[in-house]
Amino acid sequence: MRAKKITTAALLTAVALIIFIVEAQLPPLLPVPGIKLGLSNVVTLFALFAVGPSMAFLVLIARIVLGGLLTGQVVSMTYSLAGGLLSFVVCACIYRFFPRNQVFVVSVISAVLHNVGQIAVAALMTSAGIFAYLPLLTVSGIITGLFTGLCAQFVLTRQGRSGAPGAKRPGK
């Protein structure tokens, strides 16, 4: 059982890292700091709904730290860590109340909170004036959260029928 858990965590982290690094190579969508698709959040959401919060937490932290080191952006890693932790804590509390056809709702909340956490740390490290970006980042968070959430939702609904890792909790 333990070996299975470690394997699942390693597999999910590897997938999340690959998505993260590939996305980091793409040019930014808009010349606004903090706006990105955040595709690797699909893996965190999948882990949260399919396996549980502890697994999702491990995958999230491993992906942010390793991703930050591999892309060499240690300062950006601090921002991601703040955003990731804030959104994770809230999502881990609320995900139970959402059926699998509402994964995208959790994802949108997660994306918006990620931006809030990120901008709060950025304000501490630079200037409070950076909060002027909050409405714009909320707009982008809702759109990107919807996209990544629907990705995770489609994976989860298919996985529920397949017997893949974590498929032991069907019917949610």
Partner 1 sequence: MKTRYWILLFLAVLLLCAAAAWHIENTKPSEALAGVYQNGRLVRTVDLSAVTEPYDIVLTEAGSCDVRVEPGKIYILSSTCPDQLCVKHGPLGGGLPVACLPNKVVIRWLSETDKGYDAMTDAVN
What residues line the site for partner 1 (CB under 8 A)? 28, 31-34, 71-73, 75-76, 79, 101-102, 105, 108, 122, 124-127, 129-130, 132-133, 135-136, 138-139, 142-143, 146
Q: What is the Cβ-side half-sphere exposure of residue 147, based on CA atoms within 13 angstroms?
A: 10
* Cα-based distances in Å from 16 to 4, 65, 94, 121, 131: 18, 12, 22, 23, 29
Q: Strands (DSSP E) along the chain, which ranges?
A: none
Q: In the bound complex, what is the minimum distance in angstroms from residue 115's beta carbon to partner 1?
A: 11
Q: Which is nearer to partner 1, 99 or 163 (CB)?
A: 99
Q: In the bound complex, what is the minimum distance in angstroms from residue 102's beta carbon to partner 1?
A: 6
Q: In the bound complex, what is the minimum distance in angstroms from residue 145's beta carbon to partner 1?
A: 9
For 149, residues 6+ apart whose C-beta sits below 8 A from its C-beta are 45, 103, 104, 105, 106, 107, 108, 110, 111
Q: In the bound complex, what is the minimum distance in angstroms from residue 64's beta carbon to partner 1?
A: 15
Q: Which is nearer to partner 1, 149 or 165 (CB)?
A: 149
Q: Which is nearer to partner 1, 84 or 165 (CB)?
A: 84
Return d(Cα 164, Cα 33) in angstroms, integer. 37
Q: Which is nearer to partner 1, 8 or 140 (CB)?
A: 140
Q: Which is nearer to partner 1, 12 or 119 (CB)?
A: 119
For 64, residues 6+ apart whose C-beta sits below 8 A from its C-beta are 77, 80, 81, 84
Residue 21: how many CB atoms within 10 A of its CB? 15
Q: In the bound complex, what is the minimum distance in angstroms from residue 34's beta carbon to partner 1?
A: 7
